A and B are shown apart, each in its own frame.
Chain A
């Protein structure tokens, strides 16, 4: 009888632990703030692209260092960087990098020009940042993946993955980028899985820093790009970081290593549910995508230095999600925050356009968001400006 009871208890406990229903990150400050402004669309910009370029590029940057404002993007298929004059949308120049040989960089993922004499090219395949001089000569290579130190094998150091909304930035003598290693492990704590890589060019030291918010080590977030990839922007020597499963933003100072949290949630999001499985279990790709599409999340954070505001992108659950539909049709909301990260309002984007929010950036004119159309020979953006309510 006792054995039967014991067996039943074991089965019951096993069933309970296997049916983890997930946990929720509640938006407790929802609707506490008054809306003072909204975004309105006022312009469309189209950049004609060549035969070798697709409008689905993953790395676009707006560069306003010189007298001309440039739109720069990477074409990973021909290992090239394209420069366009942002104001008149005209093509300016193209720079191509070799994949192999003395100046080879493998497949390039991102590009950053520092000045007229030097620029960086990053390859995700090698995790190497390559420094070039103005003669297109490879001068130096920097390894951007930090192998955990001996005796510290529980550290999960990030693999830098560079995209438009998670760019590579130079802050003084430091190069900063973000990334992660996919998966969900119960070994994760709130100190052993950093997302930020800081490379000190002076000392040649690499540091992995800035950990996920506490809900990441507590619950399962399906281990992939949807919730594990952080988004950020740089303001002075601070990184402003947006995590998909957090209603807050983190302001992290790269000199002091100190971080502060600021509420930056959407009034349209009540809660974010974690993936309903224990960590360490195998994650089904279809089920994880369905969970992401029917769950709320946050994405890009962008600082608008011209108007001294921030924009944060939020994605709402898609109510009528169908597993065979193409792309990501989760409704989009853009939250506006002032320079002190205080809520100013939010605007829902029209649902009749095919937005590629992953390619959004701030220009002198306003907030630009890529929109995909039937014309595959142009990269199109809609530009938004702020209007007071």
Chain B
């Protein structure tokens, strides 16, 4: 009886620990972004990561957000996992994508393929070149 109690208590504790753990997608994205920001000369306030495929509606909203805010130099836009670079250039205009606050992630460095969340656009809040918060856009 005692052994069963210990077993259940351990199981309960493990469940609590696992459920309280921070989501690894956000933390991995955060560490990659922190490394990336170290080499950036500009103090950005936000980094927006927009994947090329995944949640279609969410990506369209993120692209519209990009088109409205591309002139804001406090925001860094990262385009990752693009099926067609040419389509991206046609859709969002080459002149927009050649601005200094744009990064086209050809090597898919920010595309974390092991996580289902990689299909959604994300926003990272930055203070003094350090990520302080990562949330879905």
Contacts and interface: CB of A to CB of B under 8 A. Distances in A.
B83 A286 contact: no
Contact of B119 (A53, A56, A77, A286): A286
Interface SS of A by simple majority = loop
Contacts of B91: 77
Nearest to B86: A376
A285 interface: yes
Interface string A353-389: 0000000000000000000000011000000000000
Contacts of A327: 53, 83
Nearest to B83: A326
Interface in A250-292: 285-286
Contacts of A135: none
A56 B111 CA distance: 22
B113 A56 contact: no
Contacts of B135: none
B55 A376 contact: no
Contacts of A351: none
Interface string A45-77: 000000011111000000000000000000001
Given A77-B91, A326-B53, A326-B81, A286 B116 contact: yes
Interface in B63-96: 81, 83-87, 90-91
A77 B93 CA distance: 10
Nearest to A225: B56
B116 A77 contact: no
A152 interface: no
B101 interface: no
B86 A285 contact: no
B90 to A, nearest CB: 5
Nearest to A323: B116
Interface of B: 53, 55, 81, 83-87, 90-91, 111, 113-116, 118-119
Given A77-B90, A376-B86, 12 more contacts: A52-B90, A54-B84, A54-B90, A55-B84, A285-B55, A286-B119, A323-B116, A323-B119, A324-B111, A324-B114, A327-B83, A376-B84
27 contacts: A52-B90, A53-B90, A54-B84, A54-B86, A54-B87, A56-B83, A77-B90, A77-B91, A285-B55, A286-B116, A286-B119, A323-B116, A323-B119, A324-B113, A324-B114, A324-B115, A324-B116, A324-B118, A324-B119, A326-B53, A326-B81, A326-B83, A327-B53, A327-B83, A376-B85, A376-B87, A377-B86
